[in-house]
Amino acid sequence: MNQPPDAPELEQGRRVARSEERRLPDVGQRWTGPLAIGLLAFCVAFVGLWIPSFWDDEIATISAIDRTPAQLLVLLQSVDAVHGLYYFLMHAWTSVFGFSEIAMRTPSALAVGLACAGTVVIGRKLGSNALGLTSGLVLAVLPRMVWAGTEARQSALTALLAVILTLLLLRAWKSNRVLDWVLYGICAVIGVWMFMFFVLAVAAHAFAAILLRRRPIATAIACAAVGAGVLPFLLFALGQKAQVAWIENRSLAQTLSTAAVKQFFYGEDRPTGNLPPQWVLAFVALLGIVEVGLVVWGLWTARKLPQTRTLVVLCLVGVVLPIAGLALVSVVAQPVYVARYLTFTAPAFALLVGLGIVSIPARRAWLRYAAVAVVVAVSLVPQLTLKSLVNEPPDTERKIGDQVATDAKAPAAMVFEHDYLRDMTIAYPDDFKNVQDLSLAQSPAESGTLWGENEAVTPEELSGKGTVWFIGDAGDAPDDLSAFTSAGCSETRNQAYERMHIVEFACP
C-alpha cells in the first residue's frame, strides 16, 4: 500500500488511542476531556470580556431586546429579521441578568465552551482522543472564536450549532434512523433561523455526503426538507438586504485576502478605524503561517489513509464551501462577506489544524508539543487588541458616556446629527440620565427602529440648555449649526475622533 513514510506510525497511534478509549471504565472519565477543554475555552473567552466597550452591533442587540416582545416583532418586520431568534433568546436572558457587558456577553462565552467540548467529541469519533483534545484546544484559543465569545451577537451560537449539527449528521449516517434525520433537520432549521448564512453549513454537509458516498440520498432529502422549511424565512430576510449596505464593495482578491487574515487568525477590529499595532499584526501573520502549514501537513499525511477521509472531506468542505460561496456572492451580486458571519466554520478549521498536529510522527513527540505551544502562545497575542487591553480607541461609546457623565452639569443636552449616533445613550443610559436628547422625535421602541427617529432642533429648544454636545460623523463638517448661532450659543470645544465629531456649546 502506498502510504507516506509516517503513515504506519500515525495509524498505530490511532489504534492505541482507540484501544485506550475502549478501556475507559465509565462515562464520567470519557467526558473528562471534553469538559476540561470546554471549561478552558469558556475561561479564555470570559476573562476580560467586560473590558471592551459595547460596539455598534452589540448596541443593536441591546436596542432590540430592551422592548416588549410585541415591539420586537414590529422591529423585525422592517430590520434585523436575521437576528430575530437570537434577539428573543437574549430578551429572556436579560430579563433575568440585565444589560451589563458581563451579562450580555456571557451567553457567547458559554457557547464557545460548549462548541469546543463538542469539537473534542467530533475529533474522537473521526480520529482519536488526541485529535479531539488537540482540536478542541486549538479552537479554544483561535482568535475568531475568542472574538465570538466576547461579543453580544450570535456568532458563537452558530459555531455551537455547527458542532451539534455535525454530531447529529454522523449519528444519522451511522444509524439511518428516521428520528436521527428528524433531529438533524430540526437543528439545521434552528441554525438557519439563528443566522441565515448557516444554510451554507447545511449545503456543505450535503456536498460532503456526495463526496464520501455516505447516505447521499438520505442526506439530500434531509437537506432539501430543511431548505423548504427555511425558504420563507430566507426570502423575508433577503427583503431586508439594505441593512448590509454598509459592507464595503471589494474585488474577489480583496475579499479572499480579508478572509485569509480575519476569518480565523484575528477576529475583528472594534469598528473604530484604528488598526492594531504592527507587532500584533506580526503575530497574526505568524499564526496564519503556522496553522495553515499544519493543515497542509495534515492533509498531505492523511491523503492515503482511508480512516481519515471522513474527517478531511467533512471539515475541508465545511470550511471552503461557505467561504467561497459568500465571497462569490459578494463579488457577483451584493457585498455580504463579513468574517464573523462564517464563525460556524471555525470548529472544522480547528479539526484540520488538530489533524496536522497529531500527524507529526510519534518519534518526534517533542515537535507535537512544540506545535501546540506555539499555536496557543501566538493565538493569545491578538486577544490584547480583541479585548481592548492595548490600543483602545479614544472614542468608544463608554468613554464618551463617561466624559458626558463627568462634565454634565444641569442643565445639559445633546443633539445627534444622525439617529445611529445615539447608540451610546442606548448602551450606557446611566451616563445620560441627566442629559436631554433634543434631537429625539420618537424612541427606538415607539418608532419601531433600532436608533429612534430624529427631528431638527430649533433655537428655542437650545436656549437656556447650558452645556450642549453636538455629535456628528467624523470627517464631515456638521450639516447645519445655524440653530446654535441663532440661540446665542458659543462653541467651547471642538474634537474630531476616528468615528465622531463632537462640538461642545454653552447655550445660556
Number of alpha carbons in the 13 Å side-chain half-sphere of residue 37: 26
Q: Cis omega (within 30 of 0) on the bond before 411? A: yes
- Contacts made by residues 494-498, CB under 8 angstroms, sequence distance 24+: 497/393, 497/394, 497/395, 498/272, 498/273, 498/274, 498/393, 498/394, 498/395, 498/474
Query: 0.75 cut: is pTM over it?
Result: yes
**Domains of the chain: which residue ranges?**
25-386, 397-507
Distance between CA 486 and CA 505 in Å, rounded? 13
Beta strand 500-507 with 490-496 is: antiparallel
Residues of the chain with pLDDT under 50: 1-10, 12-13, 16-25, 27, 272
CB atoms within 10 A of CB 404: 23
Are 484 and 507 in contact by the 8 Å Cβ rule? The answer is: yes
First vs last C-alpha separation in the chain:
89
Report phi then psi at 176, rounded to 5: 55, 30
User: Grid coordinates in use for 23?
Assistant: 478501556
Distance between CA 462 and CA 449 in Å, rounded? 26
- The pLDDT value recorded for residue 8 is 46
Per residue in 93-112, is it b (16+ CB within 10 Å) or e — as a string? bbeeeebebebbbbbbbbbb
Are 247 and 338 in contact by the 8 Å Cβ rule? The answer is: yes
- The pLDDT value recorded for residue 28 is 57
Distance between CA 322 and CA 255 in Å, rounded? 13
Distance between CA 130 and CA 415 in Å, rounded? 58
Alpha-carbon distances of 30 from 23, 50, 168, rounded to whole Å: 10, 34, 19
Cα dihedral: 28, 38, 64, 100 (round 10):
100
Handedness of CA 473, 474, 475, 478 (dihedral sign): positive
Which of 467, 479, 475 shows the shortest CA–CA distance to 432? 467
Which of 377, 372, 381 shows the shortest CA–CA distance to 134? 372
For 229, residues 6+ apart whose C-beta sits below 8 A from its C-beta are: 185, 189
